[in-house]
Amino acid sequence: MAGSMLEIDGVSVEADEGKTLLEAARSAGISIPTLCYHPALEPFGACRLCSVEIEKRGRRRIVTACNYPAEDGLVVRTGSAEVINIRKMILELLAARCPGEERISRLAREYGVLQPRFKLEAERCMLCGLCTRVCEELVGLCAITAINRGVERRVDAPYSDLSEECIGCGSCAMVCPTGAVKDMRNIYPVTQSDLVHMEDEFLSGTRDDDLGVYSQILAGKASRLGQDGGMVTSMLASGLEKGLIDAAVVVTHREFYGAQAILADGVEEILGSRGTKYVRTSVISTLRNALRSGKRRIAVVGTPCQVRAVRRLQHQGYIEEEFPGTEITILGLFCFESFDYEALRDHTMRMFGIDLEDADRIQIARGKYVISAGGEDHSCKVRELEDDVSTGCGFCSDFVSRLADISVGSVGSPEGYSTLVVRSDAGRRLMETAEFSIAQANPEEIFKLARLKKKNAQKSFARITDGLEMQV
């Protein structure tokens, strides 16, 4: 592969084709500061701290090193008087905007900026764009974006409303140079440390590295019909009948779109939502509408990403501040991955000649995808559906819904039973309203899948973590 020979601060540097000035300088051990750069993301040039002076055919100008290509014969100066003055001005403005942020303060001190001359409204967000770019470019979603222009520019969820897209993976919080993302109400970033803090806040029991906090694991088979042991259906219906909850946010089948979250305040609606849907849908707007309608004792059924969103709203104080006296009980489902409905529908039609809309039952168990229609079962290995997996699932490390009050799934239980992982008093109370038979669960099966999902997520996050040291 042909490269380029250039001069940086008097040093001859050979750069591979396609490399930027920033990459070329760093390969030669020459430091250029930046706050908006990450090697796994497309260069953006937002902070402009990486400004350098280039000389090309006798003409000089200032460019941003993170997105300017290394070119043959280029002369680069990273510390000329003009470059230093530009960086000092940028750092003075950033220090005035974000006075409490250590990374900015440290860089400012290095350039002799001890007291900014400007008076700006204090912010934490420096508008570097790392959070929006990691969400879109790596995770594959657009849960967070830049809004407005000029002095009104800021970062938030689309329409400045509670996000319907955010899966709480925490990628944005990992790359944020100031920690501003974690203050935002409309998205739900959860890092590993956040996860532990919320477990301590909402749950009780023994902490396990793979299963989280729990007090009991058992297998249950309810008298009511439902997926596997029918325990979710039974707990919700019994909770309603015995007055423990006023309503439940559940996901039900939606023709042509796969699934939608609804508010069920009657047993018939609960029974109508039976069965796992295996597609991602947000529960946030349905929960908020339930709270606005006056419901205060609400059960929420969700996958790990949905559970994280609800817990984050509780942890941030949004729910209690807006709707005092609310009691939320979360039933978390085991989830290795969800599917894009249209992709899964097309794939199922190609493999089996069956439209998902005509399926009597869909189940994923023991590594197999099983669809029942017209009295017949058809199946394939789940790994054959990897191209149909929902965007972002690779960044979720939680198989067992660690932040739920009670987690439910088929893994680890005998045929026809549901595994129950009790994590809080609220989860236990709801479980005890139901009538069910108990069997022995096998936690090792759960451990195996929990560890596998965590390992897969670590591979996805490696692109972020491996580049974090390159941000400065």
Q: Which tens digit of pLDDT belongs to each residue from 104-113?
A: 999 999 999 9
Angle between helical axes of 192-202 and 304-315 (0-180°, round to 10): 70
Tokens of 206: 């023994």
Task: With H, G, I as helix, E, B as strand and everything else as coil, classify residue 155.
Answer: strand
What span, in angstroms and rounded, lies between the C-alpha atoms of 191 and 398?
Answer: 12
What span, in angstroms and rounded, lies between the C-alpha atoms of 228 and 460?
Answer: 31
Mean of all residue pLDDT scores within the chain: 92
Sign of CA dihedral 239, 242, 245, 247: positive
* Average pLDDT estimate for 445-465: 95
Q: Which tens digit of pLDDT belongs to each residue from 273-282?
A: 877 667 888 9
Give the H or E element holding residue 370: strand 368-373
Query: Is pLDDT of 150 > 60?
Result: yes
Of 153, 193, 154, residue with least CA distance to 173: 193
Give the H or E element holding residue 22: helix 21-27
- Sequence-separated (6 or more) residues with CB below 8 Å from residue 403: 195, 198, 199, 202, 203, 212, 304, 307, 308, 311, 330, 332
SS percent in the chain: helix, strand, coil, step 5: 35, 25, 40
Query: Is pLDDT of 175 > 80?
Result: yes
Classify burial at 122, counting beta carbons within 10 Å of its beta carbon; exposed 0-12, middle 13-18, buried 19 or more: exposed
CB atoms closer than 10 angstroms to residue 169: 31
What span, in angstroms and rounded, lies between the C-alpha atoms of 121 and 142?
Answer: 28
What span, in angstroms and rounded, lies between the C-alpha atoms of 340 and 317?
Answer: 32
Q: Provide the pLDDT for residue 467.
A: 84
Task: With H, G, I as helix, E, B as strand and everything else as coil, classify residue 325.
Answer: coil
Domain limits, CATH 3.10.20.740, in the chain: 3-119
Q: Which tens digit of pLDDT belongs to each residue from 216-261?
A: 999 999 976 655 679 999 999 999 999 999 999 999 876 655 678 9
- Sequence-separated (6 or more) residues with CB below 8 Å from residue 52: 21, 25, 32, 62, 63, 64, 65, 68, 76, 77, 78, 83
The pLDDT > 70 percentage for the chain reads 96
* Average pLDDT estimate for 409-431: 95
Residue 358 pLDDT grade (very low, low, confident, very high; cuts 50, 70, 90): confident
State the residue for tokens 């803090």. 197
Q: Which tens digit of pLDDT belongs to each residue from 189-213?
A: 999 999 999 999 999 999 999 999 9
Query: Is pLDDT of 472 > 70?
Result: no
Angle 452-454-458 from CA coordinates, rounded to 5°: 115
Tokens of 37: 């750069």
Of 268, 279, 254, 304, residue with least CA distance to 409: 304
φ, ψ (nearest 5 deg) of residue 403: -95, 5
* Average pLDDT estimate for 41-51: 94
Q: Provide the pLDDT for residue 221.
A: 95
Contact call for residues 336 and 308 (beta carbons, < 8 A): no
Sign of CA dihedral 433, 436, 439, 443: negative
What CATH number does the domain located at 3-119 have? 3.10.20.740
φ, ψ (nearest 5 deg) of residue 147: -120, 140
Q: Which tens digit of pLDDT belongs to each residue from 118-144?
A: 888 889 999 999 999 999 999 999 999
- Sequence-separated (6 or more) residues with CB below 8 Å from residue 263: 247, 248, 249, 286, 289, 290, 293, 295
Contact call for residues 56 and 66 (beta carbons, < 8 A): no
Stated pTM of the model: 0.90
Q: Provide the pLDDT for residue 258.
A: 66
CB atoms closer than 10 angstroms to residue 437: 11
* Average pLDDT estimate for 60-73: 96
Give the H or E element holding residue 236: helix 231-241
Angle 181-423-364 from CA coordinates, rounded to 5°: 85
